[in-house]
Amino acid sequence: MAVSSIRDEKLQDSDFFRDVLAGLAGEQKTLPCKYLYDEAGSLLFEQICELDDYYLTRTEAAIFRQHITAMARQVGPGALIIEPGAGNCEKVEPLLEHLQAPSGYYPIDISPEILLAAKERITARLPNLEVIASIGDFTQADVWEGLKNLSTQKRVLFFPGSTIGNFTPVQAENLLGFFAAKLGCGDGLLIGTDLVKDSVVLERAYCDSEHVTEEFNKNILARINSELNGNFDLSLFAHRAFYHPLRQRVEMHLVCLKSHLVQVAGRKFEFAEGETIHTENSHKYSISGFNRLLLRAGFSPVCHWSDPQQHYAIHYAQIS
Ligand code: AVJ
């Protein structure tokens, strides 16, 4: 048997393989956006967060800085903070520092290296805080098991970064409902969302003038080439991101510039000129629209904080 086909057989066991082949086989080709974040993609995303055109990260950080005391008061004393998809745990630090006698911090992330380094940093800064790192996918039940052994006055879920925007409203309702099921009466949710706004501002954020988002988007093709034995020619695809006002989301696509065949793990896929691969959705909410979503998921909206331009919001909701 040829070496390449042995390699292809192993590939067939991975989720990435299955998801990519399923995504490319559809009428509208799609790729799940979670695969944008390999090592190279995560570095590119960090660069995006620093861009002038990408207002989300700095706006959210400013809201946290401005309102951290009020947020800590809203969370209340003796709380256990749970953060799904915590990554380097940098966003939560100011909150942890401002809380009155928190009972612990429970970050969940798939990357053990990043999570354990973050745990060390937080423990050095807040030696009295118990940090329980849970390694795994936050949509799976097992990573929440450790919570059962922890006693606390109150649990508050921390979900910043407009990560919820990557989910369609139905998926977001399901995810928030899954979160709600991990909480009890009086427990809270502190969550960041990007707000509906002028489409020019939105499109600039996802079609930045430095072309970093373009590189981020195309990186998923490079990843398929290297991990799934693909032969995508990146120069035959263009980055496109646009705001869809009815769906209230920015859609990110890769547009095929010339009809051709692509092979991935020995399978052939036809690409027509002008056809696209849909790689990401970034949903935008109004305050009232997000409050309705919270209610459908089982949370009662309590309050929110925003920036002067109303570009972004951080909501506090609870289980009542
Ligand atoms: C990480 C989901 C918040 O949707 O704004 C940034 C991802 N994609 N530029 C977003 C992203 C292209 C980002 N989130």
Q: How far apart are CA 281 and CA 34, in angstroms?
A: 11
For the four alpha carbons of 280, 277, 247 and 167, in that order, the dihedral sign comes to negative
For the four alpha carbons of 5, 9, 14 and 16, in that order, the dihedral sign comes to positive
Predicted pLDDT of residue 5: 55
Predicted pLDDT of residue 12: 73
HSE on the CB side for 91, CA within 13 Å?
A: 26
Does the pLDDT value for residue 310 go beyond 50? yes
Predicted pLDDT of residue 4: 53
Q: Is 256 in the pocket of ligand 1 (CB under 6 A)?
A: no
Predicted pLDDT of residue 1: 45
Query: What 8-state DSSP symbol labels residue 253?
Result: E
Predicted pLDDT of residue 13: 78
For a mutational test of ligand 1's pocket, the pick from 166, 210, 239, i.e. the residue with the most ligand atoms closer than 8 A to its C-beta, is: 166
162 pLDDT band, cuts 50/70/90, is very high
Q: Encode pLDDT of 85-114 as tens digits.
A: 999 999 999 999 999 999 999 999 988 999
Q: Which percentage of the chain shows pLDDT scores above 90?
A: 95
Which helix (H) or strand (E) covers residue 282, if one does? strand 276-283
Q: How far apart are CA 110 and CA 5, in angstroms?
A: 30
Query: What 8-state DSSP symbol labels residue 196?
Result: P
Predicted pLDDT of residue 306: 98
Q: Encode pLDDT of 258-298 as tens digits.
A: 999 999 999 999 999 999 999 999 999 999 999 999 999 99
> What's the 216 CA to ligand 1 centre distance in angstroms?
10
Q: Encode pLDDT of 223-234 as tens digits.
A: 999 999 999 999
Q: Encode pLDDT of 19-75 as tens digits.
A: 999 999 999 999 999 999 999 999 999 999 999 999 999 999 999 999 999 999 999
Structure tokens at 246: 């009815």
Q: How far apart are CA 65 and CA 249, in angstroms?
A: 27
Residue pair 287/166 in contact (Cβ under 8 Å)? The answer is no
Does the pLDDT value for residue 6 go beyond 70? no
> What's the 57 CA to ligand 1 centre distance in angstroms?
10
Does the pLDDT value for residue 184 go beyond 50? yes
Buried b (16+ CB within 10 A) or exposed e, 266-303: eeebebeeeebbbbbbbbbbebebbbebbeebbbebbe
For a mutational test of ligand 1's pocket, the pick from 33, 43, 45, 214, i.e. the residue with the most ligand atoms closer than 8 A to its C-beta, is: 45
Nearest-atom number in ligand 1 for the CA of 45 is: 6
Rounded mean pLDDT, 120-143: 96
